[in-house]
C-alpha cells in the first residue's frame, strides 16, 4: 500500500487560472496543467523572494519536495512560454491556510493584503 500523500499548505488560490497567447486559434490545442502547489512555490520563491527552506516551512513539506515542485513548475512555465501553449492552474494535493495562521509568505498574498479593506484600485480620496 502506497504512503498517503501529505497535503501542502497554500496561502491563496490565483485570481486567474488560465494563461496563454491571446492569438491562439484553438485554446484546446495544447494545455499544460500546473497544480496549485506548483503555483504556490512560484509565488513564494519568485514573487515573495523566499528561500526554498522558508517556502518548505510555509507549505509544511520538506525542502527537497519544494525543490521538486518548483522545478516542475518552472519547466511547465517555460514550455508554455516558448511553445505558445495555454497554462491552466488547477488541482493538486493542497489545503488553504487559515486566516489566523501567520507563516512565511502569509500576510503578503492578495487574500490577506486586501482582507477587510479596499484594494489599491478601490481607494478613494477623502
Dihedrals phi, psi of 34, to nearest 5 degrees: -110, 130
DSSP state of 82: H
d(CA 49, CA 67): 15
d(CA 102, CA 118): 21
Residue 58 banded pLDDT, cuts 50, 70, 90: very high
- pLDDT of 12 reads 86
- Average pLDDT of the chain is 80
- pLDDT of 117 reads 36
Residue 114 banded pLDDT, cuts 50, 70, 90: very low
d(CA 22, CA 74): 21
d(CA 49, CA 30): 31
Residue 30 banded pLDDT, cuts 50, 70, 90: confident
Amino acid at each position: 500500500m502506497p504512503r498517503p500523500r501529505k497535503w501542502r499548505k497554500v496561502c491563496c488560490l490565483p485570481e486567474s487560472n488560465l494563461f496563454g497567447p491571446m492569438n491562439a486559434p484553438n485554446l484546446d490545442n495544447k494545455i499544460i496543467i500546473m497544480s496549485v502547489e506548483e503555483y504556490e512555490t512560484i509565488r513564494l520563491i519568485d514573487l515573495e523572494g523566499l528561500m526554498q527552506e522558508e517556502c518548505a516551512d510555509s507549505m509544511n513539506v520538506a525542502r527537497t519536495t519544494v525543490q521538486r515542485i518548483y522545478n516542475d513548475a518552472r519547466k511547465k512555465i517555460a514550455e508554455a512560454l516558448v511553445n505558445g501553449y495555454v497554462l491552466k492552474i488547477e488541482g493538486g494535493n493542497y489545503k488553504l491556510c487559515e486566516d489566523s495562521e501567520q507563516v512565511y509568505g502569509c500576510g503578503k498574498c492578495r487574500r490577506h493584503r486586501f482582507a477587510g479593506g479596499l484594494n489599491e484600485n478601490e481607494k478613494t480620496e477623502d
